[in-house]
Chains A and B, each alone.
Chain A
Amino acid sequence: MSLLSVSHLKAGYGPINVLHDVELTVEAGEIVVMLGANGAGKTTTMRAISGMIGRSGEVHFEGADIARATPDAIVRAGIAQVPQGRGTFPELNVEDNLRCGAYIRSDKEIDADIDRWFDVFPRLRERRAQRAGSLSGGEQQMLAIARALMARPKLLLCDEPSLGLAPLITQELFAVIERLNREMGLSVLLVEQNANLAMHMAHRVYLIETGRIVASGSAAELSADDSIRKAYLGF
């Protein structure tokens, strides 16, 4: 049984349908990357999975049907999302941002978890009492990831984490995601336009085009296909 399996997913905004028939799976412990151009439906897929917009079709998480669940129920089920752009709360300080990430939790280990992510992201510990809005882009993206992890998710959805970041910072960010996957067994579904970097860490890749999955396979398979390589990878 897959951790996440999506089939016949249709979603959109009001009368406009963006996703026509999206089909994808994420196995436990996998990093799955979804590539696509602007407007292909990457963010919409993320929002549909996390319940932020109206959708139809089947979405199963750990065998349970979450296609009609509310966003907070989906977070409780174990899916956390790093939203697109600087998804932090600029007026709250770094620590309170992390506490917001643990909003669904009421256990006693929240402080210990904050400490743990401060170990992983030492820059955040230094800036603990600073407004999140005063952090650099890279730091904010780290904060957004740490905050999502505060919910102790089984699956992390990352919506274009490289957006607006310098290539070096992006590389570093992806390295962190890879290590989280390797060391904690965190499953990740990541959407990207930045194909080259994302392909390196992906176990499997999906290509999405105008609301439909048009190709899928391992990173090696997809980059071996000439037409795909030319169209999406640009080399």
Chain B
Amino acid sequence: MKSLVTIKEGSIGHWVLRLLAAAIVVAIMLWIPTKGSNGLVTSATEALTLMSAAMALNLILGYTGQISIGHSAFYGTGAYVTGILVSKYEWSPWLTFPVAFLFAFVVGVLVSFPASRIKGVYLALVTLALALVFPNLLRWPKLESLTGGGPGIPNGDSALDTTGFNIGRRDGQMRNFEIFGWDPFGDLRGQGAIPFYYWIAAGIAVIVYLVIRGVVKSRAGRSLIAVRDNETAAAVMGVNLVATKAFAFGISAGLCALPGSVTAIRLGAVSPDIATLTILGSLTFLIIMVIGGAGSLWGPIIGAALYVFVTDRTGGWADDEAIPGVLRPFFGWSKIPPGSGIFAVILIVLMFVAPRGLVGVWKQYSPRVVRVVPRPAGVAHDAKPALVADTTTNSTPEGESE
């Protein structure tokens, strides 16, 4: 495969390329809350929470190969930990994040023990049960004093009070945060702190990304992929399967709780009826991850952006008037926005065209433009005779998978 430009790994050109990519991401993240409309900022916040959850799911499903349809329960755990601690115990919302992580981590580890003995469809069923039980557990009368039962913890006097985030608060009032006339957090005095929520969601997304990146690129991360690719071989390398799965489940669950906490803070209320706390949430995370590209760091990010874009754009399409002319015959059959339906079709098509998701497509075609050549291995030892004659040469060409 020919490529326009070839760059050596670790060379100056490679670093320039990386910095450029990072600069584009930072520019987009800064542009949205400062120049974007309130609607865009809200959508971006939504995308950031969904991508955090999908990234967390990616660790266990994409990297470790363990199916989980129960991540909405971990997400909900985060939302409720924050909701309960802030409304009932008057904690600062900031402090609830580590608690939410730890609590979900423990739940994740507990789930991993039965999970380490079962595989595939059976594991899917067990985690599915977790997702289905969770909203009912919240409604359970004996827990009502804590969870608020069916109505949950409403937005009101005793509700989650986002003024708990009082950066530079004076006289009990929130003050706007400004740098040279730029207020990235928006108007913090009113309830219109939309960019503020955006920044919380963005911060969590960055943390989740960095943790997962750190895990995946480490020795532990290699052992996760080893377990996914060949469990037997991993075990005879000395990888403790039970401990590895428990670790992956725990981290994945803990990270998934963080965007849950963000949701609780953003909505100022939690209830078992929030869609992402039910099985729908699990499926949304799953679809986002698969469309973006399972087992890749950028997959969930791209998947979430696309998901929110499509569902937003088609949000009004239940009404004939809102549907663009050409598409009118195809949509508007029911009074439900067709966003998830469209996404289902994208999913089916992608499974045939690009089973590795959008990132897989990128990895396949980007080398035609820019190819990064890996560093040569170690020091060449030409002097030493090789034990093996060089005849095992019937491998497939580079970059081509079987």
Contacts and interface: CB of A to CB of B under 8 A. Distances in A.
Given A50-B236, A75-B236, A151-B237, A100 B223 contact: yes
Main secondary structure, interface of A, reads helix
A34 B234 CA distance: 24
A87 B230 contact: yes
Contact of A89 (B230, B295, B377, B402): B230
Contacts of B390: 122-123
Contacts of B241: 71
B387 interface: yes
B334 interface: no
A65 interface: no
A147 B238 contact: no
Contacts of A121: 386-388
Contacts of B235: 50, 52, 71-72
Contacts of A180: 387
Which of A90, A142, A180 counts the most B-chain CB atoms under 10 A from its CB? A90
A80 B223 CA distance: 16
Nearest to A76: B238
A104 B398 CA distance: 31
Contacts of B240: 70-72
A125 B377 contact: yes
29 contacts: A72-B238, A75-B236, A75-B238, A83-B230, A83-B236, A90-B230, A91-B228, A96-B222, A96-B225, A99-B219, A99-B222, A100-B226, A100-B237, A100-B239, A101-B237, A118-B378, A119-B381, A119-B384, A125-B377, A131-B401, A134-B401, A136-B396, A138-B394, A142-B388, A151-B237, A151-B238, A168-B391, A169-B392, A176-B388
B230 A179 contact: no
B211 to A, nearest CB: 20
A88 interface: yes
A135 interface: yes
Given A89-B229, A89-B230, A122-B388, A133 B402 contact: yes
Contacts of A100: 222-223, 226, 234, 237, 239
Interface of B: 219, 222-223, 225-226, 228-230, 232-241, 295, 374-375, 377-379, 381, 384, 386-396, 398-402
B236 A71 contact: yes
A214 interface: no
A134 B402 contact: yes
Main secondary structure, interface of B, reads loop
B144 to A, nearest CB: 44
Interface in A109-137: 111, 114-115, 118-123, 125, 127-131, 133-136
Contacts of A111: 378
B398 A120 contact: no
Interface residues of A, number: 56
A23 B238 CA distance: 25
Contact of A120 (B374, B386, B399): B386
Contacts of A221: none
B394 A115 contact: no
Contacts of B396: 134, 136
Nearest to A129: B374
Contact of A147 (B237, B239, B392, B399): B237
Given A119-B381, A123-B388, A129-B375, 11 more contacts: A52-B232, A83-B230, A88-B230, A121-B388, A125-B378, A135-B395, A136-B395, A136-B396, A148-B237, A169-B391, A172-B391
A144 B230 CA distance: 12
A76 B381 CA distance: 30
Contacts of B374: 128-129
A21 interface: no
A95 interface: yes
Nearest to B384: A119
B60 to A, nearest CB: 16
Nearest to B378: A115
Contacts of A144: 233
Which of B238, B389, B396 counts the most A-chain CB atoms under 10 A from its CB? B238
A92 interface: yes
A134 B388 contact: no
Interface string A132-159: 0111101100101001100100000000
A180 to B, nearest CB: 8
A52 B236 contact: yes
A120 B392 CA distance: 13
Contacts of A131: 401
Nearest to B233: A87
B238 A128 contact: no
A133 B402 CA distance: 7
A135 B230 CA distance: 16
A37 B165 CA distance: 71
